[in-house]
Structure 1
Amino acid sequence: MSTRPDPRRTPPFGMALIVVGVALISINLRPGATSIGPLLEEVRSGLGLGPTLAGVVTALPGFAFAAAGGASVALARRMGLSRGITLGVAAMVFALLARVLTDSALVFLVLTTIALAGMGLGNVLVPAWIKAHSRDGGVRLMTIYGMGLTIGGSLGPLLAAPLAQVAPGQWRGALGVWGVVALAALVPWVIISAKDRVHRRTSTSAPLTGRMRHSPTAVALTALFGIQSMNAYIQFGWVPQIYRDAGLSGTAAGAFVAIITGLGVLGGLLMPTVIARSRDMSPWMIAFGVFAAAGYLGLLLAPATVPWLWAMMLGFSGFAFPTAIALITARSRDPRITAQLSGFVQPVGYLLAGIGPLAVGALHAATGGWTIVLLLLMTTGLGITLAGLRVSKHVFVDDELELAKGA
């Protein structure tokens, strides 16, 4: 199948608006989730959250992303990719601003879920939108997107504690600021959705194949994405507490988690190009797994001795995340297949991301420590490598689906 762009997909707006839109939404798809971890004790105290509900807060991103992602492709078929993304940004802005105004733990959780669902729509639909609006297979825009995700993800925990010290309402102001920032992303997407009339009718018009599970690459990519996402949200939600339990301050804990996520900026910049130029990603996948196991081992044995080293190891392992995101577009040709692949990989992956933090909270409460948790997390390095090796080859999901159809 030819990979030359279809002239019917020529966007009715300039490249500057495309770049601004992709950059701003990518930066805003994570801070609303990642900023809670360093402030979890303050949120628990302010809203009267018990340990169980605190565990729910850390698990919500994965579950909300999974639920919204599962519905996103069908939503895009009805209203189009651009409008679907715009709806997600609007929900995110409203809920992030509204949740800091309540004293009810239940209302806070509901509004957090709405905000995360808006992010979940963007998670799935933006890669497909990029594929439909790119002339280079999405390499450049996916580089911007991957970098933006990690920049936003690192700013959340990095700025959480410092903002809580100076913002009105302390932790409320520190969390609410991300709703204000998200307003900047809403503006270009309102313009894009208003202009993107042709794409609204054509980009998602094909019926779903329902056969993604028959693609070995799609299944392995789901496993890679899921294991790394689970690690990421455990790190967002619980690694700050591991550091604090080892005697570090909340500000220091947030800074070390920011190192983990901030290194992903380098991964987001590097990995789309590496994928485009490599016929075999196996060495990278092995390295991702080794760094994950070593980072968790360091947190187990000496969390406060060289905390920056363990954060760096986990950060380098986190290159697996922008790799998995970029592979969604790199391992598919047709934008409709990209949308379906994204809608298959991310909901299942984020379901694992939701289960992981919840399980960590339960294990920590049951054992009173982090030893068993960290030993189990070390094994995820093997899972990253095994799943990664299966998607390392230059294979297209489109071709695997055609073979499965003919079988």
Structure 2
Amino acid sequence: MTTPPAAPRPGAHGGPVGVGLALTAVVLISVNLRPGASVLGPVLAELRAGLGMSPGTAGLMTALPGLCFGVVGALAVGLARRVGMTVGISLGLLAVVVGLVARAGTGSVPVFLALSALALGGMAVGNVLVPAWIKRHAQDGGVRLMTFYSAGLTLGGASAAALAAPVSGASSLGWRAALGVWGVVAVAALVPWVVIAVREHRDPADFRVGSTADIGTLWRSPTAVALTLLFGIQAMNAYVQFGWLPQIYRDAGLSATYAGLLVSLLTSVGIVGGLSMPTVIARSRTLAPWMVSFGVLMVAGYTGLLLAPAVVPWLWATCLGLSGFAFPTAIALITARTRDPRVTARLSGFVQPLGYTLAAAGPFAVGLVRDATQGWTVALLLLMSSAVVMTLAGLRVSTHVFVDDEIVRS
């Protein structure tokens, strides 16, 4: 198979999308692709009480983001081929707005789950298509826009988690206000994307994202497979940490408030990674030292939680937060390890759905192991071993190898 010549990038050559509009659109969408998932945890008890949600259904809620990101994300490239990348992203944001606003007003558990899936599916479309859109429009290969995008993803998720309880407590609507406000915020992101979609919907280059069948050829690309493992294992650990780290700290005798602050510390550290790693990737000859450090820090964090979780607990949270730099690294490598925006779209549609599907299994597996062993030791040891696999995958994508070339050779 040969890779077709790169499509022209209108934004990079003074086309219909200006630098300011592109930056605004990327920043606004990035901070709206995580709150719909991260806002639930802090108000889950109130949500369950308000809707009469069973423990089993609440457990499904924790896995729903990963499942939707995986399943719907796999369909995003096909959607972009039919309606264009920009219209596809706009439709995804519309689904986010409708889903988040409507679920805040329902009193039915099945309807709440369906609307949550709608919103998360819209986020999944953005997850896959925005990196490819950035690659097509950026003048510097995507470094600057990916920097804002990666940092915005973390900032949005952390902000939603941090503000959920205060908003719930300050409003007479309680948890409904905490959830619904993010649907209103998402309207601000929808506006610039609709403007861009109106300008670009007739541009043939906006439809050139490769086919779903083409994505299958990426299994023959060692870089694509390794990047999927890097992304998936880091995402799995992140979901485990968001879901179970507060309980680990509480089981060690810390208060619920302190445990929540420690999780906020972990996520806040990740913002630094989002701001720094795209530039590090662009300027580094090899990322090997970084990949090794991510693995070492992850093992150190879990070791601290195993041996002395209540002793300098902020240190273990910080170690895990620093190891989480692997997430913005993996996101940025989707653009950095491709040349043609169409290959970027295919790679994004390969890495993220598979990675998030793997990530969705993590919290369930950890919960099962904890219940079976009546403790955290085995679960933490398994998580440490995942750091080894993540490091090996990271080393494979550390050098400047392009997926485009591996596809040609296959």
TM-score (norm 2): 0.93
- 1:188 and 2:192 matched: yes
- 1:370 and 2:373 matched: no
Residue number in structure 2 paired with 1:130? 134
Contact 1:38 1:241 in 2 (8 A): no
Residue number in structure 1 paired with 2:260? 254
Residue number in structure 1 paired with 2:317? 311
User: Counterpart amino acid of 1:131?
Assistant: K
Q: Give SS of 2:311's match.
A: coil
- CA displacement at 1:393 relative to structure 2: 1.1
User: Counterpart amino acid of 1:6?
Assistant: P
Contact 1:162 1:251 in 2 (8 A): no
CA–CA distance in structure 2, aligned partners of residues 206 and 3 of structure 1? 12
1:79-90 equivalences in 2 (<5 Å): 79-90=83-94
Residue number in structure 2 paired with 1:288? 294
Q: Give SS of 2:168's match.
A: helix
User: Counterpart amino acid of 2:385?
Assistant: T
Give the direction of change, closer, same or farther, for the CA distance of 1:313–1:158 in structure 2 (3 Å limit). same
Contact 1:125 1:339 in 2 (8 A): yes
**Could you tell me which of 149, 154, 157 is aligned with 1:153?**
157
Contact 1:5 1:135 in 2 (8 A): no
Residue number in structure 2 paired with 1:223? 229
Give the direction of change, closer, same or farther, for the CA distance of 1:41–1:239 in structure 2 (3 Å limit). farther
**Could you tell me which of 118, 122, 127 is aligned with 2:122?**
118
* Higher deviation after alignment, 289-298 or 37-46: 37-46
Q: Give SS of 1:328's match.
A: helix
Q: Deviations 1:85-111 (Å, cap 9, x if unpaired)?
A: 111111011111111222222222221
Question: What residue ranges of structure 2 are gaps of 5+ in the alignment?
Answer: none
- CA displacement at 1:8 relative to structure 2: 5.1
Contact 1:34 1:237 in 2 (8 A): no
Residue number in structure 2 paired with 1:69? 73
- CA displacement at 1:193 relative to structure 2: 0.9
- CA displacement at 1:159 relative to structure 2: 1.7
Give the direction of change, closer, same or farther, for the CA distance of 1:105–1:8 in structure 2 (3 Å limit). closer
- CA displacement at 1:303 relative to structure 2: 2.7
- CA displacement at 1:74 relative to structure 2: 0.5
Q: CA RMSD in A?
A: 2.1
User: Counterpart amino acid of 2:236?
Assistant: M
Residue number in structure 1 paired with 2:389? 383
Contact 1:158 1:258 in 2 (8 A): yes
User: Counterpart amino acid of 1:219?
Assistant: V
CA–CA distance in structure 1, aligned partners of residues 123 and 200 of structure 2? 21
Q: Deviations 1:358-397 (Å, cap 9, x if unpaired)?
A: 2223333434433322222122211211110111111000
CA–CA distance in structure 2, aligned partners of residues 340 and 123 of structure 1? 12
- 1:396 and 2:402 matched: yes
- CA displacement at 1:47 relative to structure 2: 2.7
Residue number in structure 2 paired with 1:20? 24
Question: What residue ranges of structure 1 are gaps of 5+ in the alignment?
Answer: none
* Higher deviation after alignment, 393-402 or 152-161: 152-161
- 1:143 and 2:147 matched: yes
- 1:337 and 2:343 matched: yes
Contact 1:65 1:351 in 2 (8 A): yes
- 1:162 and 2:166 matched: yes
Give the direction of change, closer, same or farther, for the CA distance of 1:7–1:169 in structure 2 (3 Å limit). closer
Residue number in structure 2 paired with 1:103? 107
Residue number in structure 2 paired with 1:232? 238
CA–CA distance in structure 1, aligned partners of residues 386 and 83 of structure 2? 38
Give the direction of change, closer, same or farther, for the CA distance of 1:157–1:143 in structure 2 (3 Å limit). same
Between the two proteins, what is the percent identity of the paired residues?
Answer: 59
- CA displacement at 1:27 relative to structure 2: 0.6
- 1:6 and 2:8 matched: yes
- 1:33 and 2:27 matched: no
Q: Deviations 1:42-100 (Å, cap 9, x if unpaired)?
A: 33333333332222111111110001110000000000100111111110111111112
* Higher deviation after alignment, 315-324 or 249-258: 249-258
User: Counterpart amino acid of 1:148?
Assistant: G
- CA displacement at 1:165 relative to structure 2: 1.8
TM-score (norm 1): 0.94
User: Counterpart amino acid of 1:142?
Assistant: M
Contact 2:218 2:407 in 1 (8 A): yes
